[in-house]
């Protein structure tokens, strides 16, 4: 596997991770009623949702970088001199 392919694969997995975790953290605190305590406070739920929003923003930013990288042609391999 070439270096470019492994870079693209790593970036795509990172975008997937950020999107999945971001959506989960954004929606999970508000999906079920919680009892009293730290997890039931609005501050904590907002904090966790904020972390999810940060994950989504980072995922979108990396997706832009990945799409820009995929739109450029790969660099040409240098020709080898016969020995």
pLDDT digits (tens, 9 = 90+) for 7-56: 888 889 999 999 999 999 999 888 877 777 777 788 888 999 999 999 99
Exposed, middle or buried, 77 (CB in 10 Å: 0-12/13-18/19+)? Answer: exposed
The CB-based long-range contact list for 69-73 (8 Å cut-off, 24+ gap) reads 69/7, 69/8, 69/11, 70/8
Q: Return the H-helix or E-strand segment holding 16.
A: helix 3-31
Helix axis angle for 3-31 and 42-71, nearest 10°, is: 160
Query: What pLDDT is stored for residue 24 in this prediction?
Result: 94
Please state the domain extents for the chain: 3-71
């Amino acid at each position: 596997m070439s270096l470019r392919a492994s870079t693209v694969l790593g970036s795509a997995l990172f975008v997937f991770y950020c999107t999945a975790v971001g959506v989960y953290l954004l929606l999970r605190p508000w999906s079920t009623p919680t009892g009293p305590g730290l997890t039931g406070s609005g501050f904590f739920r907002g904090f966790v949702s904020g972390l999810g929003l940060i994950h989504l923003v980072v995922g979108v930013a990396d997706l832009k970088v990945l799409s820009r990288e995929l739109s450029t042609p790969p660099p040409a391999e240098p020709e080898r001199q016969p020995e």
